[in-house]
Amino acid sequence: MPVLTTPFASLDLFRQPPRHDDPLQAFDAADEYLLAHLAEQGLRADQRVLILNDSFGALAASLVGQAHISSSGDSHLAALALANNLACNHLPADSLSFVPASQVVEGPFDWVLIRVPKTLALLEEQLIRLHGQLAPGARVVAGAMVKHLPHAAGDLLERYIGPMQASLAVKKARLLMATAVDKPVPQSPYPTQYRLENPPLTLLNHANVFCREGLDIGTRAFLPHLPRNLGEARVADLGCGNGVLGIACALLNPQAQLTLVDESYMAVQSAGENWHAALGHRPVSLRPDDGLAGQPADSLDLVLCNPPFHQQQVVGDYLAWRMFQQAQAALVRNGELWIVGNRHLGYHAKLKRLFRGVEQVAANPKFVVLKAIK
């Protein structure tokens, strides 16, 4: 397994979720570049460092004991990875603080290290929130692999932080370095909203929610076919995003007991606000989680899922397969998993390996809606 070696530490690091013989490593050249730059500039033990979007804890774990460290991001999987990597390297769990992106991080900070996220709206919201949280002369440094670094990231740093300079590329990674200057109080464009006609809903979406500007076409294909007449069934919306599937199911099934789960803190925040706007004080369970990892076995009658096909920049069906396995474990005998997916992904064959029956509920030229029975 590759070891991350920097001026601050030498660490064994693992990705989350764990995967046998994982071909990918839990850090890259952008992490190494950020840490090398920080060491070159000098970091004092009395300084406060904020780390944003540290996918597997490489940055935060490396800096334990070097300064006062806070980490923040929108991924519950990243928070789990950080905790696991601290434990694996025998570093104290209370050596730093983690703040979900749905909450405000309180400064002042002398350094801010940012891994540029895939969603630039998240980066913009994070930079807006730094207003008033930076110490005089604070430096903000964003890093990414060059192939994943859009020009707009530098524009956002200049707009919200101050003058920005791009580094030379090292091992196909680049840094964007900005020095904080006084700026007017920015107005955040987030959360955004869009209107759904059937069911009639106005859906609020915080910055990092998938398809923030409008309903994604997979969910649009799924909505007309949601099951009815469920009685008091226990239903989970797995990977709930803004909660639209769970809310629509709840509207169709007034007695159903809903659980909405996502690994994005901003998604869970959005889903909660949308649920209460649509359904008032009707009981619901909302939580950030590693899929259904925290769900007791045989505790659900139905799982609804529009599974993801990427984790950060990595495309593949590993996360979807893992969600199918989690759903199978959480469902009672004869319980059902309903999913929507692109035709070419071949979910029908994959589900047959886990469930005793798989049926096609609906299809269009691009998507299929499938029902798998435990």
Residue 184, in any domain of the structure: no
Residue 203, in any domain of the structure: yes
pLDDT of residue 1: 60
pTM, 2 dp:
0.94
Mark whether 271 and 369 lie in a shared domain. yes
**Which among 109, 112, 159, 100 is positioned nearest to 132, based on CA atoms?**
109
Mark whether 216 and 330 lie in a shared domain. yes
pLDDT of residue 310: 47
Mark whether 95 and 197 lie in a shared domain. no
pLDDT of residue 269: 98
How long, in residues, is the chain? 374
165 close to 177: Cβ distance less than 8 angstroms: yes
Mark whether 104 and 239 lie in a shared domain. no
Mark whether 201 and 222 lie in a shared domain. yes
Average pLDDT over residues 268-279: 98
Residue 107, in any domain of the structure: yes
Q: Per-residue pLDDT tens for 285-330?
A: 999 999 999 999 999 999 999 998 644 444 457 788 899 999 999 9
| Residue 218 domain boundaries | 192-373
Residues 6+ apart with CB under 8 A from 23: none
d(CA 203, CA 196): 7
d(CA 278, CA 276): 5
Q: Per-residue pLDDT tens for 214-250?
A: 999 999 999 999 999 999 999 999 999 999 999 999 9
Average pLDDT over residues 331-340: 97
Amino acid in position 251: L
Average pLDDT over residues 105-122: 96
Residue 185, in any domain of the structure: no
**Which among 306, 322, 311, 257 is positioned nearest to 286, based on CA atoms?**
257
* CATH code, 349: 3.40.50.150
Residue 187, in any domain of the structure: no
Last residue of a domain, one of 126, 150, 179: 179
Helix 120-129 to helix 151-160 angle (10° resolution) is: 20
Average pLDDT score over the chain: 94
Q: Based on the structure, what is the number of domains in the chain?
A: 2
Q: Per-residue pLDDT tens for 139-193?
A: 999 999 999 999 999 999 999 999 999 999 999 999 999 999 999 999 999 999 9
pLDDT of residue 222: 96
Average pLDDT over residues 243-267: 97
Last residue of a domain, one of 179, 205, 230: 179
Mark whether 141 and 255 lie in a shared domain. no
Mark whether 175 and 280 lie in a shared domain. no
Dihedral sign, Cα of residue 287, residue 319, residue 270, residue 189: positive
Question: What percentage of the chain carries pLDDT values higher than 90?
Answer: 87
Mark whether 99 and 201 lie in a shared domain. no
